[in-house]
Structure 1
């Protein structure tokens, strides 16, 4: 009975084999880049983005090397390197 209670208390993952679990901070990206990085409007698609390129571009935003950016140059400064790496891994794992 205790084993059954413990099993019921375990959090359930809402991920499917086709949709990995997003890190919590990826939810902030959805406002501009769409759910799961699918893209919307004129913003780039993040789903399937190469993780090394993601980290490089993020650094360019953070270091003001993309002066035509409207808001990402400010947003990028608020994330740690570990958070950026987690975002890069997540978006790389999402299928387009």
Structure 2
């Protein structure tokens, strides 16, 4: 019984990843969480950096630096650890496409 439950759980977890990969709006949806600090669509109106139009590679590297602790931050080091590398890539691609 426990083996069946574990197998079912594993299958469901695997299909969740597939469902996310097929969502064409996933990058936009994930990036929406950044709006409070970095502005709608990454266009900051305050003291935070704007993310819109930045090169994807630069944004991915910044997130990796926050995630590893190489770049000091007040909160981004915690936020970045909540995303997978694939999700960070999607977020960076979304912001890079904004003008």
TM-score by length of 2: 0.70
Query: How is 1:58-73 mapped onto 2 (pairs within 5 angstroms)?
Result: 58-67=63-72, 69-73=73-77
The CA deviation at 1:27 is 1.0
More helix by share: 2
RMSD: 1.7
8 Å contact from structure 2 (residues 35, 41) kept in 1: yes
Query: How is 1:49-60 mapped onto 2 (pairs within 5 angstroms)?
Result: 49-60=54-65
8 Å contact from structure 1 (residues 37, 91) kept in 2: yes
The CA deviation at 1:40 is 2.9
8 Å contact from structure 2 (residues 27, 90) kept in 1: no
The CA deviation at 1:22 is 5.4
* Structure 2 unpaired stretches of 5+: 1-24
8 Å contact from structure 1 (residues 46, 91) kept in 2: yes
The SS at the match of 1:78 is coil
The SS at the match of 1:23 is helix
Could you say which structure has the greater relative contact order, defined with CA pairs below 8 angstroms and 6 or more residues apart?
A: 1
Runs of 4+ displaced beyond 3 Å: none
Query: How is 1:35-54 mapped onto 2 (pairs within 5 angstroms)?
Result: 35-54=40-59
The alignment of Structure 1 onto Structure 2 pairs a total of residues equal to: 75
